[in-house]
Amino acid sequence: MAGSSETAALRHRPAPERPRPSSLPVRATGLLRRALPALGLFVAVRALGLLVLAVWAGAEGRSPHQLLSARWDSLWYTDIAAHGYHWAGYQATPHTRGAGDHSHLAFFPLLPWLERGLHTVTGLGYADAGLLVSAVASLAAAVGIHAVGERVFSGRPWGSRAATLLVLLWAALPIGVLQSMAYTESLFTALAAWTLYAVLRGHWPAAGLLAALAGLTRPSAAAVIAAVWVGAALALRRHEGPRWRAVAGAVLAPLGLLGYAAWVGGVSAYLDVQGRWGNGFDFGAAYGRFLWRQLTHTPAAGVGLLLFVGLVLWALWSGVRQRQPLPVLAYSAVVVIVALGAQAYFNSKPRLLLPAFPLLMPLAAWLACVRPRRAAAGLAVLVGASAAYGAVWLLGSGPP
């Protein structure tokens, strides 16, 4: 009788409600709400950097607006936005004199497309449109970095704090001023971060589309493509979700990069264009020779460069020890390989590494576990040094 009563009770017990999948707007709102503290810190750090730059530039009688919007690569992007690509040897304009035979084709089209679109819709100048794209993209990057940090640090009591610190560290990098320039760094980092988030969530078509857009932004999109491929391969091996979705993401991911290379004339043609700029890829041979010259002629500078390389490699290894997800590690590793293996001169190395925000995860995790006062004091020094360095750098040699 007891068994019969228990069976009847179970039969009449209401079935538990299945959790309803949250809609995309609800998930997006939740992501943004959780990222608000990190976003506020990001805006504060970048605002301080811009304020220091404005004051310093004003003291030297120079325009901070011109420094941010109309120097170096910014000029090439705005020229493409205004006049399109030059297929033959590039003829220098009054704004890019000294360019010689360098070709516009070394610069990917997504940023100029966005600049042209904003100019058409709003009437903004191309340079100001570039600044607006970077400003919005930097905010999107900050939220995306926080979302990736949340996924990587999930399940740990300090995870939320570490995700916020990850955004703060990225904002306070010595070359963080690039995030406020009419360059592609903020746009590319935003696309890369959200691609990684889509990979970690198993949203394969979205990951593939975002990776394809990254491929229209910078050649280092190879790192984003690698992350999608590694994640898709793992999903297929583990039989996670419908196979066609992972395959679709993997197929979509390289289309932007390969499509642009094909439009230029093929991969070899694009590599020739880059070679004329001195930006070929030689697996670090040119950089190794540069390091050796520095060690033999200016040992202090050479040792500093070795420490820089060692710090980057240590951060990558720390990510392995931290057991970061394989797609995240693949992304970081390829960014490092592209940055250190390129022939571009040293000043471009930190710029090429700027999108490699997962390298900061071990430091963010450590800071999340130390005493708040100690962490705050160290971060305050870092933020102040970043603001000062950014102004000195931009008023001096600046990004190549």
Residue type, 30: G
Q: Dump pLDDT digits (tens) for 206-245.
A: 999 999 999 999 999 999 999 999 999 999 999 888 899 9
What is the arithmetic mean of pLDDT over 277-295? 75
Give the CA diameter of the chain: 97
In this predicted structure, the answer to whether residue 363 has a pLDDT above a threshold of 80 is: yes
240 — phi, psi (to 5°)? Answer: -90, 110
Q: Residue 306: what pLDDT?
A: 84
CA distance 388 to 197: 32
CA distance 397 to 400: 8
Q: What is the DSSP string of 298-335?
A: -HHHHHHHHHHHHHHHHHHHHHHHTT--HHHHHHHHHH
Q: Residue 270: what pLDDT?
A: 82
In this predicted structure, the answer to whether residue 52 has a pLDDT above a threshold of 70 is: yes
Q: Dump pLDDT digits (tens) for 58-75.
A: 999 999 999 998 888 899
Q: Residue 400: what pLDDT?
A: 65
Confidence grade of residue 98 (pLDDT, cut at 50, 70, 90)? very low
In this predicted structure, the answer to whether residue 5 has a pLDDT above a threshold of 60 is: no
Q: Are 68 and 182 in contact (CB under 8 A)?
A: yes
Q: Residue 101: what pLDDT?
A: 54
Structure tokens at 254: 């390289």
What is the arithmetic mean of pLDDT over 151-172? 94
- Angle between the 159-171 and 126-152 helix axes, to the nearest 10 degrees? 150
Q: Residue 214: what pLDDT?
A: 98
What is the arithmetic mean of pLDDT over 35-42? 95
In this predicted structure, the answer to whether residue 280 has a pLDDT above a threshold of 90 is: no
Residue 281's SS3 state is strand
More confident position, 279 or 228 = 228
Q: Residue 269: what pLDDT?
A: 81
In this predicted structure, the answer to whether residue 110 has a pLDDT above a threshold of 90 is: yes
In this predicted structure, the answer to whether residue 19 has a pLDDT above a threshold of 50 is: no
Q: Residue 16: what pLDDT?
A: 39
Structure tokens at 399: 């990004």
In this predicted structure, the answer to whether residue 362 has a pLDDT above a threshold of 70 is: yes
| Least confident segment among 14-28, 59-73, 152-166 | 14-28
% of the chain beyond a pLDDT of 70: 87
What is the arithmetic mean of pLDDT over 370-397? 92
Q: Rounded to 5 degrees, what angle do the CA atoms 33, 38, 41 make?
A: 130
**pTM for this entry:** 0.89
What is the arithmetic mean of pLDDT over 272-291? 75
Mean of all residue pLDDT scores within the chain: 86
Continuous H helices in the chain = 2-12, 24-59, 64-69, 73-83, 110-122, 126-152, 159-171, 185-201, 204-214, 221-238, 243-252, 255-264, 267-276, 285-297, 299-321, 326-341, 348-353, 361-369, 372-395
Which residues touch 93 (CB under 8 Å, ≥6 apart)? 79
